[in-house]
């Protein structure tokens, strides 16, 4: 880990930025979390190529907890860019994710806030991400975005992963497919959710499955926002467990 990081920090394409260069973010964090100071967190920006080459595939950036350090890509990337299957290709073509560096910086700083607040949620990845997405929402709205913009530009990658990791939702889509296409006699069941088999199946029926996965992801993002609006952060602890087993490595975003 440290060696990989070293490679990024030594690159000529990497530069350090400072929270003080982003007064709007600073103001936002101070107003929401007046007792938490994340000014000691170091922030570095580099190119997607440098960061991905060092083995950090995240879409926009990451917060490295034990080093109190944030890495940001100067441009968001979805996946590796050369997808070997139709499903990933179609999915990536269908979502336009245009969050800018500032949005990703807010996201990663909120992970730092969560860390500084001692929220020991690292085991509960979904709850941690929901905390971050929910608490970033008002910042995004303050930039003139609508909730739909926030979902489509910023939140969708995480919820796509979440939907595809959700066997119940995916099974539902597969059953729907079987009902709609008489020619489909067998769909993957939970016991058969081995990655290769399901991926092949999903690629074969990508035109049917992708729009439904995206709809479902948007719906889940909206539900999170509604829960947050109604109950505040209390609601996040009760989120159901996040099953990573079906995640696609090529769309690994958080
Ligand atoms: Zn995150």
DSSP 240: P
The answer to whether the CB of 225 falls within 8 A of the CB of 120 is no
Q: In 3-state terms, what secondary structure has residue 172?
A: helix
Distance 58 CA to ligand 1 centre (A): 9
pLDDT tens sequence across 196-230: 778 888 899 999 999 999 999 999 999 999 999 98
Distance 229 CA to ligand 1 centre (A): 20
How many A from CA of 108 to the centre of ligand 1?
6
Find the angle CA(105)-CA(110)-CA(116) to the nearest 5 degrees: 125
182 C-alpha vs ligand 1 centroid, how far in Å? 41
Burial zone of 98 (CB within 10 Å; 0-12 exposed, 13-18 middle, 19+ buried): exposed
> Per-residue pLDDT tens for 141-171?
999 999 999 999 889 888 988 898 888 899 8
> What does DSSP assign to residue 101?
H
Question: 89 CA to middle of ligand 1, Å?
Answer: 23
Angle subtended by helix axes 156-164 and 206-231, to nearest 10: 110
Per-residue burial over 146-181, b if 16 or more Cβ lie within 10 Å, else e, is ebebbbbbbbbbbbbbbbbbbbebbeebbeebeeee
Q: What is the mean pLDDT of residues 173-179?
A: 93
Give the per-residue pLDDT at 120. Answer: 61
The answer on pLDDT for 240 being more than 70 is: no
pLDDT band for 101, please (50, 70, 90 cuts).
confident
| DSSP secondary structure code for residue 144 in this structure | T
Residue 242 and residue 125 in contact, taking contact as beta carbons nearer than 8 Å: yes
Question: How far is it, in rounded angstroms, from Cα 110 to Cα 92?
Answer: 26
Among candidates 117, 91, 135, which has minimal Cα distance to 253? 91
For residue 140, the model assigns a pLDDT of: 95
What pLDDT does 20 receive? 93
pLDDT given at position 194: 66
pLDDT at 236 over 60: no
Cβ–Cβ under 8 Å, residues 106 and 137: no
User: Distance from the CA of 215 to the center of ligand 1, in angstroms?
Assistant: 21
Asked if residue 241 has pLDDT above 60, the reply is no
- Rounded Cα–Cα distance for residues 148 and 218 (Å): 9
- Global pTM exceeds 0.75: yes
Q: Residue 100 C-alpha to ligand 1 middle, in angstroms? A: 15
Q: What is the CA radius of gyration of the chain?
A: 19
Among candidates 118, 204, 121, 219, which has minimal Cα distance to 166? Answer: 219
Distance CA(242)–CA(251), nearest Å, equals: 16
Output the average pLDDT for the chain: 83
Tell me the percentage of the chain whose pLDDT exceeds 70.
Answer: 82
Average pLDDT over residues 82-106: 81
Residue 132 CB neighbour total at 10 angstroms: 23
Q: Is the pLDDT of residue 116 over 80?
A: yes
Instruction: Give me ligand 1 centre to Cα 220, in Å.
Output: 16
Average of per-residue pLDDT across 93-119: 86
Distance CA 103, CA 116 (A): 20
Q: How confident is the model at residue 88 (pLDDT cuts 50, 70, 90)?
A: confident
Overall residue count recorded for the chain in this entry: 254
From CA 247, how far away is CA 133, in angstroms rounded?
19
């Amino acid at each position: 880990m440290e060696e990989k990081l070293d490679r990024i920090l030594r690159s000529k394409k990497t530069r350090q930025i400072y929270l003080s260069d982003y007064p709007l973010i600073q103001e936002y964090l101070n107003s929401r979390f007046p007792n938490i100071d994340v000014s000691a967190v170091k922030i570095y920006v580099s190119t997607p190529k440098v960061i991905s080459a060092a083995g950090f595939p995240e879409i926009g950036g990451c917060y490295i907890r034990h080093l109190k350090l944030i890495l940001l890509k100067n441009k968001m990337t979805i996946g590796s860019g050369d997808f070997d299957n139709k499903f990933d290709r179609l999915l990536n073509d269908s979502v336009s994710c245009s969050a800018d560096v500032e949005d990703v910086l807010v996201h990663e700083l909120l992970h730092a806030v969560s860390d500084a607040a001692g929220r020991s949620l690292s085991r509960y990845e979904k709850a941690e991400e929901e905390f971050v997405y929910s608490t970033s929402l008002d910042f995004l709205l303050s930039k003139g975005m609508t909730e739909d913009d926030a979902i489509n530009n910023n939140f969708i990658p995480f919820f796509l992963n979440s939907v595809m990791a959700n066997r119940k939702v995916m099974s539902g889509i597969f059953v729907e497919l079987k009902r709609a296409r008489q020619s489909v006699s067998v769909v993957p069941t939970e016991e058969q959710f081995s990655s290769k088999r399901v991926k092949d199946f999903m690629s074969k029926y990508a035109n049917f499955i992708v729009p439904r996965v995206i709809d479902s992801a948007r719906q889940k993002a909206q539900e999170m926002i509604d829960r947050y609006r109604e109950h505040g952060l209390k609601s996040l602890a009760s989120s159901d467990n996040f099953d990573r087993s079906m995640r696609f490595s090529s769309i690994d975003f958080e």
